[in-house]
Amino acid sequence: MDFIQPANFTGNKAWEALNIANIEGASVKLHWTDKPYIWHKNDGKEVLVVLDGTIVMHYKLNNVELLKTMNAGDICNIDEGDDHVAHPVNGSARILVIEKENSI
């Protein structure tokens, strides 16, 4: 049994991850970042939970870029093929990501 305090996890580089668990083909990771990720589309579903900080999720709907601010406690359910990128705001953020193993 492991107990994790997300507020104590800090990476050496943006989007560094602490692997928490692999459950039946899904990975559960705690990410720390102070920089945006890259625009990408997952090859499966993804659940993203902001644990600390604030991010702005950029995503495309019918080729139109939209923005959604997410604060600690907010959850985003991302479908396969949804084009998106997360940008931390005012410093760093800690984000729990649950997705298909080996997804980008």
pLDDT at position 102: 82
User: Residue 103: is its pLDDT beyond 90?
Assistant: no
Task: Say which residues have a Cβ less than 8 Å from residue 32's Cβ, sequence separation at least 6.
Answer: 9, 10, 11, 15, 16, 18, 92, 93, 94
For residue 88, count CB atoms less than 10 angstroms from its CB and return exposed for 0-12, middle for 13-18, buried for 19 or more. Answer: buried
pTM of the model: 0.93
Position 30 confidence tier, pLDDT thresholds 50, 70, 90? very high
Position 10 confidence tier, pLDDT thresholds 50, 70, 90? very high
- pLDDT tens, 37-84? 999 999 999 999 999 999 999 999 999 999 999 999 999 999 999 999
Domains and CATH numbers, the chain: 14-100 (2.60.120.10)
Position 12 confidence tier, pLDDT thresholds 50, 70, 90? very high
User: Residue 104: is its pLDDT beyond 80?
Assistant: no
